[in-house]
Amino acid sequence: MLSLDQLRPDLAHPAGSKDLEEEGDQHGGPELPPRGPLLGSWRQDVSLNCKSSPEDCAARAWTTFYYNLLQSCLQQAGLPETVDRTLEPRQGCPGMEVTMCLLGSPSSFFSVLLEGGAQSPGNLLLCLSPSWLTKVPAAGRPAEASLLVSKAVAFHPGGLTFLEEFVPPRRVTYFLGELGPRAGRGREVAELSREVGCPLGSSAELARLLEDRLLTRQLLAQGGKVAVPATLALTYKPPQQLRGQASTQNLRLVELSGKEGQEGLVEEEVETFLQLGTLGDARQVAVKPGGWRWHGSHAMSLHPRSDPGAVVRAVLALLEKLEEEESILVEAVCPPVQVLQPAASRSLPSQPELAIRVCAVVCRTQGDRPLTSQMVCRVGRPEQPLRHQAALPQSLDTALAACGLSEPATVEALRRRVQEAAEAALDAVLALEATLSPEQRGGRQAQTDVLGVDMALTPVGPGGSLSPVLLELTSSLCLEACGLLEGQWARRGQRCQWAAAGPLVETMLRRSARHLMEGKHLLVVGAGGYSKKFVWEAARDYGLKLHLVESDPNHFASQLVQTFIHFDVTEHRKDEENARHLAEVVRARGLQLDGCLSYWDDCLVLTALLCEELGLRGCPPAAMSLAKQKSQTQAHLLQCRSPRWPAPSLYAVPCCPLQAPDDVERAARSVPLPGVMKLEFGAGAVGVRLVEDASQCRAHFARISQDLRGEADHPGIGLGWGNAMLLMEFVAGTEHDVDVVIFSGRLLGAFVSDNGPTRLPGFTETAACMPTGLAPEREAQLIQAAYQCCLGCGLLDGVFNVEMKLTASGPRLIEINPRMGGFYLRDWIQELYGVDLLLAAAMVACGIPPALPARPRARAHLVGVMCVVSQHLQALSSTASREALQALHERGLIRLNLLEEELVPGEYEEPYCSVACAGGSPGEARQRLLGLCQGLGIDAPNYPVAHFLSHFK
């Protein structure tokens, strides 16, 4: 018979491999990869060498091993092998594209790589060798370095992979390497990540802290939010973080004065510990070393609790091997789970007890909040240690079913407890990191973005209900196990709601975007009102250098920017002339701009003209003017016959422009009534009204002509262009906002929200829900319609808010707002999806394509209601005052967006604020909001919140 060596001798024994005394024949020497066959039919004649940085024999062995391991992973996942495209180097724009780079074992990162390839094609790269990366001095930061990648495996949707070379090399915007004493390239990863300026998902310094069992056990025991096993820790010259730490109920710290002559102290401490009531029903104790050097090792032994002599001997044997800042842990082994037998099986021999370990992958998300993305279990006999790669991964449901626990409520309750414990563990880690200096963290941009929380499920309390007890923190092993489980589901045609690596990839994308934009100089035209206050705060957080053009010399934003240019931008009939003058001012001041944009309706056309004058990226002025004038938007799209079906004309609604009383008469005869009258250049639904006959058309036109003549009558709604109106057909259906991100005509992202019914005959928004409650097909129709309408108007670059109606026959366009969505939309999208439309708009303006999640998934549901002064003056002055609402927001009970600074009633009002509640489902969020509105006095007979929320059932 043929041996595996005969089948694949080149893979069975990589060049120069030899056995390690401690690790056995499964590993090569300390500088060589593991031994063992990797069987498959992939090509071997691929270009793995890096011409600029040749490798020695050991390094080449690792690179070859990792390439073959990657092909094995692809083969087992049913994916095609990697295509070598190194003969045709990729051309790129250095420093202008997201480049997320992983360095380490392909099996450890496989789930991250597949998810990254799906979410951001070609931007997630796997380096199989440190020689494929180069450190160079960082421009403008003498103490930091930049990472450049010249060769990598690029991942694309569908698991397609390509071996690429990059000329010139791509600048890395996010780096995550496999660290640890057992990581094959651990030392090289640590050296590459040291003192680099790009975001790091970990560092050698953080890994040393988090993978020290005693340090993390102490950290979690102090918080009290995570249960840990009763532990006796014997430390030898403990690290700085543990000096002076007091013992807790479940953790006793004993500092040893040396490694010799400690027999009496060890015996006394062990015997006392084994008698403690905190050990509960534990029948065994584990003796294991703690410290960075020991992480991932198998130097652990199990002993009966009733045999203190054996425990003492095991401790003393380990004590001889300890180095400074290391420890020995004696911990209670969590009691196993008793298998519950169904009645039909009770005649059979009793089932054995089972040990269950669950590993939860927790990711740092938007706002530094932990999110459990996946959990995987291992089940085995209690007398044997359950190690990651020595037990098959399975879901929590399957593991509990093996123990006779399948009641849905019981499983869901335990799932919540595991999730809460895992997220509390990452919370504690983030709190520790916040106290560390950049040097202690391993760099200015180093932080922990993903954590594996390893827990035992064990009976606790009189009833013996299962609860999680935290054992240790890991990273790549848990990702690998979850990836294996997800792969099993995928082969059965199933897909989990959350891929384990999904939130991690979103964090990588978000941090990459911030890194790319740090220090960029942007000209912002128009400061806007109070509702745009977040722009200046966000710019500071992102490190953007803003230069502001604003009419009001006393605007609060004038003190928050690099440069303030006082210029009257309110007279829009002079936009072309003003754009030329502003361009001259910019050049005279010597401003070196990366981009120019506006978040304010009034200044969009001027901004487009200015971009054209300065040669900066932006939409053509003609396209911006077309989108800004509502009747012209519809008229243009009605005539837009595209060779590609569906044409934009399918979404347009007939309307007539109104400039004089005679126009009203003609429009009332040509547009089917009832109709909607609105300002041609208006914003915020000011002056929008349902009209049912010609007399109402005439009356509303006369009222608007009298009340809203110019900018002074109602600043910020577009009256600088005049007060012309339009009449359009009223479209029946539900109303929705679609916020789209477009770069060079490509749709990069879209977010759909639902609006509640308005208070007819007005159209001021009353309520909203996100994510949409529509069926996926209907949601896709809205996104396609919004995208086609933008393209039809020539809006090829930017972030746009498209208001749509969804009718029985499909979507219809209300209007296009050629800027980022207003009110609460930016905040909600950032909260739910981790995507900041403000940053996306800034990136497009700088010519950098925003790398957004290809499949954005909301983390919760938000349902909100608007408060208006005309209906809520009493409540907003008492029970729902700004101070009261702000306090609820800070406690996390509501999400508050203040849109106006003062309580000023008026006939043509805009919303004062938005109050929203979050929930795991739309129904949960809706009920919370309704109860809160009733308690605060927002719900009233003339403002029936239940009715406004009725669309979200």
The model's pLDDT over 904-928, given as tens digits with 9 standing for 90+, comes to 877 788 899 999 999 999 999 999 9
Instruction: Name residues whose C-beta falls within 8 Å of residue 704's C-beta, 6 or more positions apart in sequence.
Output: 677, 679, 687, 723, 725
Q: Extract the tokens encoding 445.
A: 């941009």
Lookup: tokens for 156:
């694309």
Grade residue 299 by pLDDT with cuts at 50, 70 and 90: confident
What is the pLDDT at residue 496? Answer: 58
Determine the angle formed by the axes of helices 106-119 and 57-76, rounding to 10 degrees: 60
Q: What is the mean pLDDT of residues 624-630?
A: 94
Phi, psi of 856 (to 5 degrees): -65, 130
| Residue 661: count of CB within 10 angstroms of its CB | 12
Max Cα-Cα span within the chain? 106
Among 667, 640, 663, 660, CA closest to 651: 640
pLDDT at 240: 72
For residue 277, the SS3 value is helix
According to DSSP, the residues that pair with 798 across neighbouring strands are: 742
Q: What is the pLDDT of residue 25?
A: 36
DSSP state of 817: E
Q: Hey, is 22 helix, strand or coil? A: coil
The yes-or-no verdict on residue 605 having pLDDT over 60 is yes
371: amino acid identity, one letter:
L
Report DSSP state, residue 333: P
Say whether pLDDT at 294 is over 70: yes
Closest CA to 823 of 837, 842, 812, 805: 837
Mean predicted confidence (pLDDT) in 372-398:
82
773-804 pLDDT, tens per residue?
999 999 999 999 999 999 999 999 999 999 99
DSSP label at residue 854: S
pLDDT at 4: 29
426-451 residue pLDDT tens: 999 999 999 999 999 999 999 999 99
Q: Determine contact, residues 192/201, Cβ cutoff 8 Å.
A: no
What percent of the chain clears pLDDT 90, i.e. is strictly above it?
A: 57
Q: What whole-number distance in Å separates Cα of residue 113 and Cα of residue 127?
A: 11
Does position 475 have pLDDT exceeding 60, yes or no? yes
Task: Give one DSSP letter per residue of 233-249, joined into a string.
Answer: EEEES--GGGTTPPP-S
Lowest mean pLDDT among 125-129, 216-220, 536-540, 934-938: 216-220
- Looking up tokens 């806007």 gives 528
Specify whether the CB–CB gap between 130 and 192 falls below 8 A: yes
Query: Is a pLDDT exceeding 50 seen at residue 856?
Result: yes
Average pLDDT along the chain: 87
Query: Which pLDDT score, from 0 to 100, does residue 24 have?
Result: 37
Q: Which secondary structure element, helix H or strand E, spans residue 9, and what is its range? A: helix 9-12
Q: Look at 21-30, 163-172, 283-292, 749-758 and tell me which has the smallest mean pLDDT.
A: 21-30
Q: Helix, strand, coil: what percent of the chain each, to 5?
A: 35, 25, 40
Pairing of strands 595-597, 521-525: parallel
Q: Could you give the domains of the chain?
A: 57-198 (no CATH), 230-332 (no CATH), 352-511 (3.30.470), 519-616 (3.40.50.20), 860-952 (no CATH)
Residues facing 940 on adjacent strands: 943
Residue closest to 594 by CA, chosen among 850, 851, 843: 843
pLDDT at 29: 45
CB distance 302 to 383 below 8 Å: yes
Q: Are 103 and 189 in contact (CB under 8 A)?
A: yes
Residues in the chain, overall count: 953
Predicted pLDDT of residue 494:
58
Contact assessment for residue 34 and residue 26, using Cβ atoms and an 8 Å cutoff: yes
pLDDT at 609: 97
Q: How far apart are CA 586 and CA 595, in angstroms?
A: 12
Spatial distance between the Cα atoms of 292 and 212, rounded to a whole number of angstroms: 5
Residue among 461, 599, 593 nearest 522 (CA) = 593
pLDDT band at 8 (very low <50, low <70, confident <90, very high): very low
Q: Which of 912, 884, 910 is nearest to 900 (CA)?
A: 912
Are the C-beta atoms of residues 913 and 883 closer than 8 Å to each other? Answer: no
CA dist 791 and 212 (Å) reads 55
pLDDT in tens, 303-314: 999 999 999 999
DSSP string, 705-735: HHH--SGGGSTTSSGGG---EEEEE---SEE
At 333-361, the pLDDT tens digits run 988 888 876 554 555 556 678 889 999 99
Q: Is the dihedral of CA 307, 310, 312, 314 positive or negative?
A: negative
Number of other residues whose CB lies within 10 A of the CB of residue 493: 6
Task: DSSP for 177-188, please give it.
Answer: E--STT-TTHHH
Quick check: 839 and 542 in contact, CB under 8 A? yes
pLDDT value for 342: 59
Query: Which pair of tokens denotes residue 327?
Result: 């420890």
Cβ contact 65:54 at 8 Å: no
User: For residue 181, what pLDDT band results from cuts at 50, 70 and 90?
Assistant: low
pLDDT beyond 60 at 41: yes
3 state SS of 704: helix
pTM: 0.88
pLDDT at 492: 65
Q: Are 232 and 254 in contact (CB under 8 A)?
A: yes
- Measured between alpha carbons, how far is 834 from 53 in angstroms, rounded to an integer? 38
DSSP-derived secondary structure for 748-799? EEEEEEEEPPP-TTB----EEEES--S-HHHHHHHHHHHHHHHHHHT--SEE
Closest C-alpha among 186, 185, 210, 205 to residue 195: 205
> Does the pLDDT value for residue 11 go beyond 60?
no
From CA 177, how far away is CA 196, in angstroms rounded? 13
Give the residue from 850, 755, 765 showing the smallest Cα distance to 799: 850
441's tokens = 């963290």
Could you tell me the pLDDT band of residue 326, with boundaries at 50, 70 and 90? confident
Checking if the pLDDT of 182 tops 80, the result is no
